[in-house]
Amino acid sequence: MASGLSAGARHGLLVKGGAALEAIGGARTVAFDKTGTITAGHPRVTDVRPAEGVRETEVIRLAAGVEPGSSHPLARAILAEAAARERPASRPRRRRARCPARR
């Protein structure tokens, strides 16, 4: 199982665990999403949908702030988008959440 996961990873295939790998063996049909992985060979950010009152640039900046140490393909896509928008990654500030039940 581990060698199958490792071989897939060397070829850019991300499989979450042995059970998923076994299920793939019985697949007769495969559907792909539109992340850019089919045509470009790697994921890329296509849309950013921030919550009301939050700027798109802030979402990209904060998302990139938690990704610099990661080699995951989605992390690289986020960092590339931040670089393309000239928004350097920055760590999110720690905020203390207030619980309404506590005073």
Per-residue pLDDT tens digits for 66-86: 888 888 888 999 999 999 988
- pLDDT for res 71: 87
- pLDDT for res 21: 75
From 16-20, 32-36, 84-88, the region with the lowest mean pLDDT = 32-36
Under DSSP, the state recorded for 89 is -
Q: Which of 3, 6, 26, 33 is catalytic?
A: 33
- Are the C-beta atoms of residues 65 and 90 closer than 8 Å to each other? yes
What's the CA gap between 87 and 92, in Å, rounded? 14
Residue 33 designated active-site = yes
Confidence of residue 56 (pLDDT cuts 50, 70, 90): very high
- pLDDT for res 92: 56
